[in-house]
Amino acid sequence: MSNASPPRALLRLMHVIYTAVMYVLTPLILYRLAARGLRMRGYFVRWMERFGAFDDPHIQDSIWIHAVSVGEVNAAAPLIEALRARYPERPFVVTTVTPTGSDRVRQLWKDRVVHVYLPYDLPRSINRFLDKIQPRIAVVMETEIWPNLFRLCDARNIPVVVANARLSDKSLRGYGPVRPLAAEAIRSARFVAAQSPQDAERLLALGARPARLRVVGNLKFDMQVLPDFFSQAQIWRRDWGAQRPVWIAASTHEGEELAVIEAHSRLLHRYPDALLLVAPRHPERFKPMVALCRSFGFATKTRSEDAHADEDTQCFVIDTLGELVRFIAAADIAFVAGSLEPIGGHNVLEPAALGVPVIVGPHTFNFEEVTDLLLDRGAAERIRDSEHLADVLQLLLGDTLRREQMGEAGCRTVARERGAVERTLEIIGRVLRDEDEPGADASDARPVVVD
């Protein structure tokens, strides 16, 4: 497929049409925001921030990091901490799109960073936003490629670094009629730090400049494993019943909840004392998840109301944010959800880093490379459906040695792949110093792996 750009006049016309469509769709976007607010109250507040209207923080030359939701915030956290340590004199701005991402930013940094929602991709809104935060650099996490945002940053000479960049085949195909604008946006980036060679190839196919693209690895490999994760896990396991089998279903979605509960129901026939920890991905699913557990007759408690499970608890719903990793550390096995339905899966590296065996469903295209890596190295198992999930759970819970081997393989894999934070930090430093990135010539069509 050719990466040739359309004529400039055609691109300008496409920008005009795209922006006009965005303005026409704004009432529908607000309606959707209000509809989501019926399920999660956080969507009802701070609407004006989504149009670039917020109190002026009176800062300049800020380092701005955008992370769409809680998963991206968690991935960005080690990088943000490293940047804050290296550039203590600079103000930091962290933007998100979702209320859960916003809550996570405030939980991690409180008022040590400026936090607002990223405005919609409308020129006036973006210009208001940029006028107030005055960024020296923009670090955009993963796949947030917005045509007007990138164009206006380029016009203001604000360098954009796309960090932890990933692009699935589905996303590449999904750009449709706006693909030329997305291609122009990614070409305007000062640097694209890709997670994997496969991501780099797809980003090249989209239009990234080879001389500005490197494979630096996945920031999520650099997650901190704190000793208190395991000390807390030991306390919880003692309270739950030290010898009982415990598994966690992490980041479940609506279409997967019934499958998880059915798998647990079958598991209880073999292990009557088994405990399920279940963490819905979205807060609006907290109460329905509790209701579903209780509809099966399971003795159910929640983190928000009961704080702890006990020896009689069969299902414990983690209906809080920011605690998932601690509960994963307390489990014998982690099923990483978002993978039974065609959602694309979620972060499999958290349980792997903690030495917890991983189970995934058939749909892991959002984390294809890291999931395949864990599968290849014996740290994970793939299942087909809820019945297969129950079978694999029974198999692993009955084989302590196998679980230990999978956990050790996960720890080794994560340890071997660490280093993306330091490599990304160096790239950002070069951009801030206005240094040219050495490496491939612009005519070179292959991404370079940074060692």
The confidence score (pLDDT) of residue 322 equals 86
Say how far apart CA 61 and CA 136 lie, in whole Å.
4
**4 pLDDT tier (thresholds 50, 70, 90):** low
Q: CA-to-CA distance for 252 and 288, rounded, in angstroms?
A: 12
Residue 165 near residue 143, CB atoms below 8 Å: yes
359 closest CA partner among 260, 293, 269, 285: 260
Domain 227-417 of CATH type 3.40.50.300: no
Mean pLDDT of the chain: 93
The letter for the amino acid at 216 is V
Band of pLDDT at residue 442, cut at 50, 70 and 90: very low
Active site residues: 72
Per-residue pLDDT at 25 exceeds 60: yes
pLDDT digits (tens, 9 = 90+) for 311-351: 999 999 999 988 999 999 999 999 999 999 999 999 999 99
- Rounded mean pLDDT, 350-364: 97
Closest of 131, 98, 145, 134 to residue 117, by C-alpha: 98
Ramachandran assignment for 276, one of left (phi > 0), alpha (psi -120 to 50 degrees), beta (any other): beta
Q: What is the pLDDT of residue 445?
A: 37
The pTM is what? 0.88
The residues, ordered by sequence, that sit 6+ positions from 39 with a Cβ below 8 Å of its Cβ are 284
Per-residue model confidence (pLDDT) at position 444: 38
Residue 226 pLDDT class (50, 70, 90 cuts) = confident
Burial 294-314, CB ≥16 within 10 A → b, else e: eeeebebbbbeeeeebeeebb
The pLDDT tens digits for 271-317 are: 999 999 999 999 999 999 999 999 999 999 999 999 999 999 999 99
pLDDT at 440 over 60: no
Classify residue 208 by burial, with Cβ atoms within 10 Å: 0-12, 13-18, 19+: buried
Using 50, 70 and 90 to split pLDDT, how confident is the model at 20? very high
Question: Where, residue-wise, is CATH 3.40.50.11720 in the chain?
Answer: 8-217+431-449
What is the rounded average pLDDT of the residues 205-219?
Answer: 96
Distance separating alpha carbons of residues 314 and 298, to the nearest angstrom: 6
CATH, domain 8-217+431-449, list 3.40.50.11720, 3.90.1180.10, 3.30.70.20, 3.40.50.2000? 3.40.50.11720
Structure tokens at 243: 């010898």
Task: Count CA atoms within 13 Å of residue 384 on its CB side.
Answer: 3
CATH 3.40.50.2000 residue spans of the chain: 227-417
Report the pLDDT averaged over residues 206-231: 93
